[in-house]
Chains A and B, each alone.
Chain A
């Protein structure tokens, strides 16, 4: 009996320690410091410290939250999305401020609090016309293994009974090279999914660049990032067109919290309600997206 209890305790301890034990609201108010984990990937959506005018939507939202709590914000930079799920993350940070798509799998690991509605949008080069999934047949669709779009695309294609092949590729010298293992030649009746493996170091605008360079025909990104980039980037407006939403359901992007920081997560929810009702959120949204939050919601919920 003692052995069973000890084993159970050990497993529980391991589970809790898997992503670290986070500090909760009272610890943060006590130390007067909010440690914010964020990727420095020169992205106006996430964090772009060199950009004086738009240092990052997530960065500014986290800063507003710190001001709301009357504490200082300390930035802890991360290399990639995956490192947020490494062991002991919440020993270093209190909150992950990034565009984390909320999925059931992720919710099991960390506490995700939604801050904005989100969908998945397909885009192509100017002149491309795809208005339904059927139109993707014979086209090369770029997805990254790192991101949730891969599974979502497969599910939608399965539901629509559209055939597809998955070919692994890796970027090299401004080109996408096929990995020789399991390469399948795609016919014109199926969709060819070009899958970039998770060990590739993603950089901002990578998907757009590949489509512009004709290494792929279609790319998938989240609507939140797309709105920011498309309306503010001249080379996207001149080379890229939005095609269609991948699915009708609207999802959410969220900030991440430790499972052991329920009060902090709850306080962030309260802050969001206040920011959305007082206009703070809308002002921030307009600054980055050039459209109002309500217009964005109308666009993705159609």
Chain B
């Protein structure tokens, strides 16, 4: 083997190694960038959804403040049947208005010491705890409890699926998007990690 041939072979091998390394680095870099981009996108989306959910919940709470602070709630527990019926009708009217403004509300109930006093909307029967996500018949629900006094509460059942659909529609996301949520230990509404998968 001539020296010329040896040099040529060494150059070929060196070039091959350099090429392989370059391709490998390029591939790793592209993959890394894609993963990073997707991760950031998911992070922004999850923050966006959490913010959307928080806005919806605070909007619902504010809208129900007029009912919560009304004298009518007190009359539900009075013996005067006429005042009671007037108050019941007015509270139901107000709850209907709130529900028509917030389509994600499944039902609103007024409870006293765990017994149901008045309800509006279709009641979802499940063992709910405030802030926990419950799934029933392929629908997910959140329960929001608004205290009127030490015994009386306004219990709002919110359809998580409907909130998610509103979020998708408002942001023009792919309508086949899915909502996944982790339930690590005691999952609460404010600390839950929401991941969107397109």
- For residues 2 through 53 of chain A, which have their beta carbon under 8 Å from a beta carbon of chain B? 42, 44, 48, 50-53
The contact of B74 among A48, A203, A212, A235, by CB within 8 Å, is A48
The contact of A235 among B69, B89, B150, by CB within 8 Å, is B89
- Residues of the B chain whose Cβ atoms lie less than 8 Å from the Cβ of A189: none
- Give min CB distance, B77 to chain A, whole Å: 7
Given contacts A203-B80, A234-B66, A234-B67, contact A50 B90 (CB under 8 A): no
Q: A232-261 toward B: CB 8 Å interface, digit per residue (1/0)? A: 111101110000000000000000000000
Q: How far is the CA of A235 from the CA of B87 in the complex (A)?
A: 6
Is A83 interfacial (CB-CB < 8 Å)?
A: no
- Give min CB distance, A91 to chain B, whole Å: 32
- Residues of the B chain whose Cβ atoms lie less than 8 Å from the Cβ of A238: 90, 93
Which single residue of chain A is at the shortest CB-CB distance from B82? A209
- Give min CB distance, A122 to chain B, whole Å: 21
- Residues of the B chain whose Cβ atoms lie less than 8 Å from the Cβ of A298: none
B86 touching A212, Cβ below 8 Å: yes
Q: B58-71 toward A: CB 8 Å interface, digit per residue (1/0)? A: 00000000110111
- Give min CB distance, B91 to chain A, whole Å: 6
- Residues of the A chain whose Cβ atoms lie less than 8 Å from the Cβ of B93: 234, 238
The contact of A53 among B78, B89, B149, by CB within 8 Å, is B149
A209 touching B83, Cβ below 8 Å: yes
Q: How far is the CA of A51 from the CA of B74 in the complex (A)?
A: 7
Is A168 interfacial (CB-CB < 8 Å)?
A: no
Is B94 interfacial (CB-CB < 8 Å)?
A: yes
Which single residue of chain A is at the shortest CB-CB distance from B86? A235
- Give min CB distance, B45 to chain A, whole Å: 40
Is B72 interfacial (CB-CB < 8 Å)?
A: yes
Which single residue of chain A is at the shortest CB-CB distance from B152? A52
B74 touching A50, Cβ below 8 Å: yes
- Residues of the A chain whose Cβ atoms lie less than 8 Å from the Cβ of B89: 235
A233 touching B78, Cβ below 8 Å: no
The contact of B70 among A42, A50, A205, A233, by CB within 8 Å, is A233
Is A229 interfacial (CB-CB < 8 Å)?
A: yes
Q: A38-71 toward B: CB 8 Å interface, digit per residue (1/0)? A: 0000101000101111100000000000000000
Which single residue of chain B is at the shortest CB-CB distance from A174? B82
- Residues of the B chain whose Cβ atoms lie less than 8 Å from the Cβ of A234: 66-67, 70, 72, 87, 90-91, 93-94
| Chain A interface residue number, banded | 20 to 34
Q: How far is the CA of A237 from the CA of B69 in the complex (A)?
A: 14
Q: How far is the CA of A50 from the CA of B78 in the complex (A)?
A: 9
- Residues of the B chain whose Cβ atoms lie less than 8 Å from the Cβ of A233: 70-72, 87, 90
- For residues 197 through 224 of chain A, which have their beta carbon under 8 Å from a beta carbon of chain B? 203, 205, 209, 212
- Give min CB distance, A289 to chain B, whole Å: 12
- Give min CB distance, A244 to chain B, whole Å: 24
Which among B69, B83, B91 has the highest number of chain A CB atoms within 10 Å?
B83
- Give min CB distance, B56 to chain A, whole Å: 23
Q: How far is the CA of A239 from the CA of B93 in the complex (A)?
A: 12
- Residues of the A chain whose Cβ atoms lie less than 8 Å from the Cβ of B74: 42, 48, 50-51
Given contacts A238-B90, A238-B93, contact A42 B149 (CB under 8 A): no
B149 touching A235, Cβ below 8 Å: no
The contact of A232 among B71, B80, B82, B83, by CB within 8 Å, is B71
- Residues of the B chain whose Cβ atoms lie less than 8 Å from the Cβ of A209: 82-83, 86
- Give min CB distance, A284 to chain B, whole Å: 15
- Residues of the A chain whose Cβ atoms lie less than 8 Å from the Cβ of B86: 209, 212, 235, 239
A44 touching B83, Cβ below 8 Å: no
Q: How far is the CA of A52 from the CA of B147 in the complex (A)?
A: 12
- Residues of the B chain whose Cβ atoms lie less than 8 Å from the Cβ of A54: 71
B90 touching A235, Cβ below 8 Å: yes
- Give min CB distance, B90 to chain A, whole Å: 4
- Residues of the B chain whose Cβ atoms lie less than 8 Å from the Cβ of A239: 86, 90
B67 touching A53, Cβ below 8 Å: no
User: Can you identify 9 A-B contacts, CB atoms within 8 angstroms?
Assistant: A209-B86, A212-B86, A229-B71, A232-B71, A233-B70, A234-B66, A234-B70, A234-B94, A238-B90
A residues contacting B by CB (< 8 A) are 42, 44, 48, 50-54, 174, 203, 205, 209, 212, 229, 232-235, 237-239
